[in-house]
Amino acid sequence: MHLFEPLRVGPLTLPNRLVMAPLTRCRAKQPGNVPHELNATYYAQRASAGLIVSEATQVCPEGQGYLWTPGMHTPEQGKGWRLVTDAVHAAGGRIHAQLWHVGRISHRSLQPGNAAPVSASDLRSAGTCFALDADGKPARVQCDQPRALSEAEIPGVIAQFGKAAQIAKDAGFDGVQVHGANGYLPDQFMSSVVNQRQDAWGGDPVRRVRFLMECVHACAQVWGADRVGVRLSPGSGNDGDTVDTQWREQHLEAARQLGQAGVAYIDLVNYQWAYGKPGFDDAFLRDYRAIYRGAVMVSGGLTHEHASQLVATGLCDAAVFGRAFIANPDLPMRFLRNLPLATGDEATYYGGAERGYTDYARAE
């Protein structure tokens, strides 16, 4: 296989195996965290990706941990997303919505009523989120102390994933991706470090993956499992915590259950490749593929060469690119013609308007 061979993902045929990663850009219209024309332009510019996965979208107000991120829980947001999906489809692309609940990676100032963020347990993250600091300026701030969700509350949170999946469907997306990676709520439940519950939602790998699975099932009820993807980050948490020593066993259990559920694909983020932090290796990918027989995508610091090699050797079916798609809206064409890549401006990754967002040029 090579990167420019089509790939079937559920009912979708991706014309190439280069997927645009979900990328939070903090540019939703305020108030209300509503997607707008500028966002539609940005996504449409990148429609030559085999599949676009939208930036993470909070499924409820409590699910927000960064300023100005778009939501998927109000009618206005649904209408805003319709601008995006129409623009992407008109440009010949396909787009999944990434559904997000940050859990404890949040700050009281972002929470309704300035309440404490929720999590699997009441352990505070050593990481940061993006909120207004004490001087009222947007900044990376220490995550607040969370409170543990009660057993009675958990089904309500899962139902919010289902409602968001419906809003995404009505807004014209081609499917949804459950954000189970990067130390957010489903990942908090999966971590034996963060999840200290002794009830039906913690205590062993099967119970720790239950929250993720129920979110997936809630989305599959709306879409059918073959239009639901999942993102996971085996071996890393992204929020300053000690790595979960049981991550391997945990993720292979997730692979088994996600395979049974028949999800469209799993995207595995490798922090090792992306940032030189703990992540997974090729041997893990082989074990993973032996358990999960659906489409596997991988992400993290990929180059054209590395991606080609991973797809050619069958370690994955598609390669997911984040930062490269920010600065190169026509990334597939650049790979095809071996053109040089532009480098993104990190100062404009989060927040702002056109600059560093819709003003990256096509190669020709």
Ligand X SMILES: Cc1cc2nc3c(=O)[nH]c(=O)nc-3n(C[C@H](O)[C@H](O)[C@H](O)COP(=O)(O)O)c2cc1C
Instruction: For ligand X, give the closer residue by CB, 62 or 197.
Output: 62
CB 236, CB 276: distance < 8 Å = no
Look at residues 189, 164, 137, 186 and name the one whose alpha carbon lies nearest to residue 71. Answer: 164
**Binders in 292-331 for ligand X, by CB under 6 A:** 299-302, 321-324
Query: Distance between CA atoms of 49 and 156, rounded to whole angstroms?
Result: 35
> Which one of 22-30, 153-161, 306-314, 352-360 is the stretch in contact with ligand X (CB under 6 A)?
22-30
Q: Locate tokens 């645009």: which residue? A: 20
Query: Distance between CA atoms of 57 and 176, rounded to whole angstroms?
Result: 11
Smallest distance from ligand X to CB 326, Å? 7
List all residues 6 or more positions away from 99 whose beta carbon is below 8 Å from its beta carbon.
56, 57, 59, 72, 161, 164, 165, 168, 176, 177, 178, 179, 215, 219
Residues 43-82 vs ligand X: string with x where CB under 6 A?
------------xx--------------------------
Would you call 358 helix, strand, or coil by DSSP?
coil
Among 7, 209, 230, 269, binds ligand X (CB under 6 A): 269
List all residues 6 or more positions away from 34 whose beta carbon is below 8 Å from its beta carbon.
28, 70, 71, 74, 76, 77, 79, 80
Smallest distance from ligand X to CB 199, Å? 28
Among 3, 15, 16, 22, binds ligand X (CB under 6 A): 22
Residues 203-232 vs ligand X: string with x where CB under 6 A?
----------------------------x-
Smallest distance from ligand X to CB 349, Å? 4
Burial of 176 (0-12, 13-18, 19+ CB in 10 A): buried
Question: What letter represents residue 278's amino acid?
Answer: P
Smallest distance from ligand X to CB 27, Å? 11
> Which one of 16-24, 130-138, 165-173, 194-202 is the stretch in contact with ligand X (CB under 6 A)?
16-24
Instruction: For ligand X, give the closer residue by CB, 241 or 345.
Output: 345
Q: Is 349 in the site for ligand X (CB under 6 A)?
A: yes
Instruction: For ligand X, give the closer residue by CB, 21 or 213.
Output: 21
Instruction: For ligand X, give the closer residue by CB, 51 or 148.
Output: 51
Which residues partner with 320 through β-bridges? 19, 299
> Which one of 15-23, 86-94, 113-121, 220-228 is the stretch in contact with ligand X (CB under 6 A)?
15-23
Among 181, 264, 266, 307, binds ligand X (CB under 6 A): 181
Query: Distance between CA atoms of 128 and 63, rounded to whole angstroms?
Result: 15
Q: Is 350 a catalytic residue?
A: no
Instruction: For ligand X, give the closer residue by CB, 143 or 148.
Output: 143
Look at residues 246, 231, 127 and name the one whose alpha carbon lies nearest to residue 193. Answer: 246
Name the catalytic one among 42, 66, 184, 271: 184
CB 362, CB 330: distance < 8 Å = yes
C-beta nearest to ligand X: residue: 322
* Structure token pair of residue 213: 């699975």
Report, as residue numbers or ranges, the catalytic residues: 184
Q: Under the rule (CB under 6 A), what is the footprint of ligand X? A: 21-24, 55-56, 98, 179, 181-182, 231, 269, 274, 299-302, 321-324, 349
